[in-house]
Copies of this chain bind each other. A is one copy, B any other.
Amino acid sequence: MDTPTRARSVGAVTARRARFEQPLELRCGRSIAGYELVYETYGTLNAERSNAILVCHALNASHHVAGYYADAPGNVGWWDNIIGPGKPVDTDRFFVVGVNNLGGCFGSTGPASIDPATGSPYGADFPLVTVEDWVAAQARLADHLGIARFAAVMGGSLGAMQALSWTRQFPERLGHALVIACAPNLSAQNIAFNEVARQAILTDPEFHDGHYYEKGVKPVRGLRVARMVGHITYLSDDAMASKFGRQLRNGSIGYSFEPEFEIESYLRHQGGKFAEYFDANTYVRITKALDYFDPALDTGGNLARALSAVRAAFLVISFTTDWRFAPERSREIVQALLRNGRDVTYGEIDAPHGHDAFLLDDPRYHALVAAYMDRVYDELGTAGAASTGTGAAAGAHAPADIAGDAR
């Protein structure tokens, strides 16, 4: 592999927007009348339309997966380290699609969008969307792009749950699933952290039961606390210890409620930054989608049975210090797939960074993805296409400061 020398950015990209008029039936029993999805593409769809890769995002990321915006060169896509010409997901070979999910806050229809029925923002009236709903909406985007079948669907964390759900909902529409830093469902502890984050937001007086847009306020305090809780679960205890330890900001104890330890300062900074750009209604809904995800719910907890119709081949990757979605949770997925005779490659990467590792540039991790994508490419039976093709037309920009901060 000569990746390091030839790897480069996909360059300047542009977000596009697709509108869907047909109502989408949702798991919650409601439906959404018409909606828009914002997306980006990198690389070129080959003549056989067989080299498309769908990248699903996690809690706070977006359609802006790779490259940068011409008018905002610092706004680099959240998975730019793995996607681009010569990178593990090689845009000289693949046509990569990134999409902001339904209910998101980076341009796709979400709680802050205008409800055509009322002329006001949906706010609290926006339905609770699930992983399955997102996948259904993504499938319509695939139709819109003329992609009958993805060579692979990939994601990390909540994004990986979408990749896994693709293999159940549309078994014939993907060849491979890359399921990274995932779990077959949330543990009680995972749900507990989500509930704390939600309660911080829902009880913020400026949340106004989700109708804060009209009031001209935002539940900034709640979002800050929610994001701080999240950050603790993204980092391993060891990573926090080695990055911050008990380091004091000013060399000595100040006996005040100002940030005294570096870790306090870091968390406040991360929380504050997040609260500026993320929408609270989207946040509480995404945590609910995480809580609800549970493919084995309809099969009495039997994950193997839940995955019996799956046809894709799998790359499953976990990280040793990820205590949010620990390796044993990935192994549950692997075992359920093996029980169905599926083709599974499993890698457990010894990385110190906790759940965050899936976003970081670990050479062993990236080498594993690169090798697997070589195989996906070989199976295409085609020489692929030239690079440099990117999107065009009107679309929303994801804010610059979420780069590298995209769980």
For the complex formed, measure the closest distance between the CB of A69 and the CB atoms of chain B, giving whole angstroms: 33
A245 contact set on B, CB distance < 8 A:
188
- The residue in chain B whose Cβ has the minimal distance to the Cβ of A255 is B28
Instruction: Evaluate contact between B189 and A271: CB separation under 8 angstroms.
Output: no
- The residue in chain B whose Cβ has the minimal distance to the Cβ of A128 is B255
Stretch at the interface among A44-52, A91-99, A198-206, A369-377: A198-206
Q: Could you tell me the dominant secondary structure of chain A's interface residues?
A: helix
Instruction: Evaluate contact between B203 and A225: CB separation under 8 angstroms.
Output: yes
Instruction: Evaluate contact between A228 and B196: CB separation under 8 angstroms.
Output: yes
Stretch at the interface among A140-148, A156-164, A235-243, A334-342: A235-243
Contact A294 B246, CB 8 Å, known A188-B240, A191-B261: yes
A255 to B192, CA, bound (A): 17
Q: Within 8 Å of chain B (Cβ to Cβ): is A117?
A: no
Looking at the complex, which one of B29, B203, B228 makes contact with A199 (CB distance below 8 Å)?
B228
Instruction: Evaluate contact between B263 and A232: CB separation under 8 angstroms.
Output: no
A28 to B186, CA, bound (A): 43
For the complex formed, measure the closest distance between the CB of A396 and the CB atoms of chain B, giving whole angstroms: 26
- The residue in chain B whose Cβ has the minimal distance to the Cβ of A257 is B202
Q: Within 8 Å of chain B (Cβ to Cβ): is A268?
A: yes
Q: Within 8 Å of chain B (Cβ to Cβ): is A5?
A: no
Q: Within 8 Å of chain B (Cβ to Cβ): is A250?
A: no
Contact A193 B255, CB 8 Å, known A186-B246, A205-B205, A240-B188: no
Instruction: Evaluate contact between A189 and B128: CB separation under 8 angstroms.
Output: no
For the complex formed, measure the closest distance between the CB of A106 and the CB atoms of chain B, giving whole angstroms: 22
Looking at the complex, which one of B192, B261, B294 makes contact with A291 (CB distance below 8 Å)?
B261
How does the 8 Å CB contact mask read for A354-392 relative to B, with 1 for contact and 0 for none?
Answer: 000000000000000000000000000000000000000
Instruction: Evaluate contact between A193 and B232: CB separation under 8 angstroms.
Output: yes
Contact A244 B199, CB 8 Å, known A253-B292, A255-B128, A256-B128: no
Contact A263 B192, CB 8 Å, known A187-B237, A268-B199, A284-B257: yes
A186 contact set on B, CB distance < 8 A:
246
22 pairs, CB–CB < 8 Å, chain A vs chain B = A28-B255, A29-B255, A128-B256, A187-B240, A188-B240, A188-B244, A188-B261, A189-B232, A189-B235, A189-B237, A191-B263, A195-B259, A195-B261, A196-B267, A198-B257, A199-B225, A202-B257, A225-B225, A229-B229, A237-B323, A246-B294, A260-B291
